[in-house]
Amino acid sequence: MKLRNLFFAAGASLLMLSACSGNDKDNGGMRTLADYDNVTAADSLLYYFGQLRAADYWQLTYNDSTMATRESRNEYLKGIRAGMDAAHDNDAYNQGLYVGVQIALNLREFAEGYNVEFNRQILLNALEDGLKNDSAVNAGEANQEFRQILQKLTMQKEEADRRTAVETLAEAAKAGKWQKISETLYAEGAPQGVGEGNVLKNGDAVGVKVTIGNTDGKEIDRRNTDRMVVGQGFPGPVTEALHTMKVGQTRKFYTTGPEMFGRFAERYNVKPTQIIEFTVAVTAPAPEKADARDSADANAAARAAAAQAAAAAAQAAKPGR
């Protein structure tokens, strides 16, 4: 049996396991293999394959609780059924069906994320023309044009997201009476703690503890180091925050998702309009490790020796030498 056919058959197993109201998670009912007559080894394989796919679905609900509702589960089963009914015995058709579903999902997601509208008939016409013969499309040229346009749209989206995020942050800052540090950074009150020495600047060595979360108290990330150099190793908002603090102080700040995480915001499930709350605690730096000092000294000595050698070579190359 081909893997493709096994996938569609597994959908049928999933339907049998979950479609009946008496057999879903809401009331704990669950059929077992013993409830079926004349079960073959192939049937048993599909039974457990269907259970595994159901388990995969429940994994999705951990990141999106709306998927756990009865309505969402029923819609999922409708989608499985529609896919099974759409499949034919023709391999080319099934391949087109698979790609078509992927394109539809990608276009929907892209349209929502980039706030654009698509005329899908243009795609279908281009595809039809390209399928007339195997030399109708210059793949290299098409790929280059595609990437250039995508890059332009991405830059436009990022700028729009940034503007929206800045506006949302400013509104929240006004309501919370936060102190403005810059357009994308606000602080809640003055630093806590007396503080030692001068306000930090780039190049200063300190210990830093940063807790990053959203305004409802959910922690997103935590970054601690007992020794770092201001201006290196932390996102821009954290460095900017450090420029308002001294050793021994703690302070709470607010910024935007794009400023804190940049293009990696989606990895942290951070939306462009989401306000990021982070707390910074500054401590005295841990002693620099001896091997690090030795390495730095060795690198400096090597650079000095190389410079001297280059100067000597240049002098020797002068006319008359």
Q: What is the band of 133 on the pLDDT scale with cuts at 50, 70, 90?
A: confident
Q: What is the pTM of this model?
A: 0.61
- Name the average pLDDT for the chain: 83
d(CA 236, CA 181): 13
Which candidate, 284, 280, 296, places its Cα nearest to that of 228?
A: 284
Starting at the earlier edge strand, list the strands of the sheet with 275-283: 179-182, 185-187, 250-256, 275-283, 205-214, 219-229
pLDDT of residue 114: 82
Average pLDDT over residues 137-166: 90
d(CA 179, CA 166): 15
How would DSSP label each residue in 46-69?
Answer: HHHHHHHHHHHHHHHTTT-GGGGS
How far from the centroid of its chain's Cα atoms is residue 80's Cα? 28
Residues 192-235 pLDDT 10s: 998 999 999 999 999 999 999 988 888 888 888 899 999 888 88
Residues 238-252 pLDDT 10s: 999 999 999 999 999
Question: Does the domain at residues 166-283 carry the CATH identifier 1.20.120.1810?
Answer: no
- Of 106-120, 168-182, 253-267, which has the strongest mean pLDDT? 168-182
Residues 53-95 pLDDT 10s: 889 999 988 888 899 999 999 998 899 889 889 999 999 999 9
Residues 267-282 pLDDT 10s: 888 887 889 999 999 9
- CB count, 10 Å around CB of 153? 15
Domain ranges of the chain: 3-116, 166-283
pLDDT of residue 135: 83
Dihedral sign for Cα 205, 207, 212, 216, please: negative
pLDDT of residue 157: 86
